[in-house]
Homo-oligomer: A and B are copies of this chain.
Amino acid sequence: MESSYRKGLERVARQMILIHRADIVIKLVLRTIVRDLKVRHAGIFIYDKKHDAYIVKMSRGNTGFKIPSGFVKIKKDNPIINYFTAKRFSFCGDFILLDNIEKLIRSPKVKKDIKAGEFLDDLQTNLDFYQARACVPGFFRKELVGVLFLGDKNNGDKFNTKDLGFLSTLASDVVMAIKNAWLFEDLSRQIEVNKRLFLQMISAFVSSIEAKDKYTRGHTERVMMYALSIAEQLKKRGELSNRNKFVDDLRVAALLHDIGKIGVPEHILNKPAALSEEERDIVREHPAIGDNILKGVDELEMVRLGVRFHHERCDGLGYPDGLHGEEIPLIASVIGLADAYDAMTSDRPYRKALSFDEAINEIKKNKGKQFDPKVVDAFLDYTQETNNKLR
């Protein structure tokens, strides 16, 4: 009976190492303690670097008490923490039992020692506040990462040495799991930050290039937005296999689709009239130039396909390679349509923008000619779903 709770807790202790979120590790352990050890509540004071203090996390079981909100931090000089870290008094050991503390306070030895008495009174007040009947420390190397505390057992039994030994081992396992989870959280956060930086850096470059071309300001942002919306619809239609990877690549490719324009002379980009045939040929080099710029960057194979082929056409009349139909990678078809739609609906030096309806008609007319039919369908879904709000 007495040791029946251990198996469950040992199992939990084994599993928690693969949970890489500290808050979930804590919840899991506390709940299991409350359930298997049959205590009214259990909690942990867990060290928080940012505040240089210990945060209180609790599981209150069915009958246990709840910490009033606002009282969720204890400082490093709190006697519960100090008991394990400073060990100022000879009675400071490897665990705290409220019963022992009460006995100590009444002992003649402590009655003569004012400092000890004050410390123990303060400790008792704190234990009472958290209704903590027993506390065990969780050290990692020499650092007190957390202190596990438990309310009364439901049946009124006292904690015995075996309980405490077991809980101590558990506490160090928990602390290890939390440390492990923290490391994971840090690494994952770093990955997110790096991804964000990468996209921000590309956006910064692209805007600076776009700034040179007075006719296309804001174009890239809009193309990316349309392209991601089309991908959203392709997803709904079940046309995407590796969704997340596709969307990540599409975002980057849409941002970069016109990067090759950096290789087009400024006087051509900014010419306030229709281009000559020769000038148009130069502009038409931009997808291949873009592809070439990116060839030194690893893991952009898919992105480069989007950049290189976004001016290809279903009917093979596009550039730079004159690909046909299914030869054109989906990522390029999506960007191609988004790009064309934005071009149609923007003013150019030599023509006014088309209206929404005119542009939609143009796209429908070119389904299967210029544009991949399934991409057109996805785009139409998108305009419908947003209640034609592009209009």
Could you list which residues of chain A lie within 8 angstroms of chain B, going by C-beta atoms? Answer: 14, 17-18, 20, 172-173, 176-177, 179-180, 183-184, 187-188, 190-191, 193-198, 200-205, 207-209, 211-212, 259, 262-263, 265-266, 289, 293-294, 296-300
Contacts and interface: CB of A to CB of B under 8 A. Distances in A.
A22 to B, nearest CB: 14
B207 A293 contact: yes
B17 A205 contact: no
Contacts of A299: 193, 197
A17 to B, nearest CB: 5
Contacts of A14: 172-173, 176
Contacts of A259: 205, 208
Number of copies: 2
Nearest to A209: B262
A297 to B, nearest CB: 4
Given A193-B298, A193-B299, A205-B205, 4 more contacts: A201-B201, A201-B202, A204-B296, A212-B262
Given A14-B176, A211-B263, A293 B198 contact: no
Contacts of A193: 298-299
Contact of A191 (B191, B205, B263, B293): B191
B263 A265 contact: no
A297 B201 contact: yes
B297 A204 contact: yes
B265 A266 contact: yes
A194 B196 contact: no
Contacts of A173: 14
Contacts of A196: 298
